[in-house]
Structure formats: C-alpha cells, structure tokens
Copies of this chain bind each other. A is one copy, B any other.
Amino acid sequence: MSRDHSHLFSDLTPLQQDLVYELRQNSARAVMLHQLISEKLGLNATDHKCLDFLNRTGPVTAGQLAELTGLTTGAVTNVIDRLEQAGYVVRDKDPKDRRRVVVKPAEGSSSRISPQFESIMQSTLQILSRYDEEQTRLILEFIRLCNDMTLAEMEKMKNQP
C-alpha cells in the first residue's frame, strides 16, 4: 500500500510527506473523476467543463468562454460545435456586434447534468460535517496557502528564462 514518496522532500517529517503525497493524489483523482463524470454524460472532459461554466454563468460569447476555461478560441469553436450538435447549447449572433457568437445553454441543459453529482454532493456533505467551524477554517486556510503558493511559483517560473 505505502510507497516511497520521500523523493526530494527529505526535509519533511514522515507525516508531512504523507500529506504532500495525499495532496498530489487528490489532484490526480479529481482529474480522473471529472473525466469519468464527463464520459457518463457522453461528453469529453473539455466540453463538460465548458458546459458547466455556461450553466453557471448563463450566456457568454465564445471569446469569454475561452478566457474562462483557459482554452484557445480555436478549441472553443470546436467545443461549441460539439455541444450544439449534442443539443446542450445554442449558438447565436450578437445583434449588437455581429462578430460575436453568443453561446447559451439549451433548455433543460442543466437538469440533464446535475443528477450525476447527487452522490458526490452527499458524500462531500458527509465529510464536511465531521469538522466544526474552527477545524474547517484551519483546513480552508491551509488549502488557500497552498493555492497562493502555487500561483506565486507559477508567476516566478514565467518570469525566468
């Protein structure tokens, strides 16, 4: 069950190493789970991600969707093609600016998707209910620190050759 995850992190206590390992695992599994849910919906992960944004934000232009998701506009064009094909979204020309393509969720799109999340929501709720407010706050702060750190490190890397 246990593996050697000492790798480079030998300054950490075993407990800390375990934590680092689980955090990695967490990211990897999140990606896999998302992938799986998408498959269940008959979509690829990217299309699903875009549809998810769309259902949250309501109608956006193709360009905005690209920015929201971090995809290229070229990729987004194909995403919209496929989602439109599958009946999840509708494409419209913006009458105010006819260069723009406005994408909006098709009728009932959201309700076709949410059932897949019921169980996960329940399980999440169950885990979270084990912690009181102070503990939750502690965990939240930790994850935030990690996220801030990651962002900072990415910036640092970009500003290096």
Question: Which A residues lie at the B interface, using CB under 8 A?
Answer: 4, 7-9, 11-13, 15-16, 18-20, 22-27, 29-33, 36-37, 40, 56, 70, 114, 117, 119-121, 123-125, 127-128, 130-131, 133, 135-140, 142-147, 149-154, 156-158, 160
Contacts and interface: CB of A to CB of B under 8 A. Distances in A.
Contact of A150 (B29, B114, B131): B29
Contacts of A136: 15-16, 19
Contacts of A139: 19, 138-139, 142
Please tell me how many copies of the chain the complex holds: 2
Given A119-B156, A154-B33, A22 B56 contact: no
21 contacts: A4-B56, A12-B124, A12-B128, A13-B133, A15-B140, A18-B140, A19-B139, A19-B143, A22-B140, A23-B30, A24-B30, A26-B143, A27-B31, A31-B31, A32-B70, A36-B157, A123-B152, A124-B149, A127-B142, A127-B145, A138-B138
Nearest to A19: B140
B133 A36 contact: no
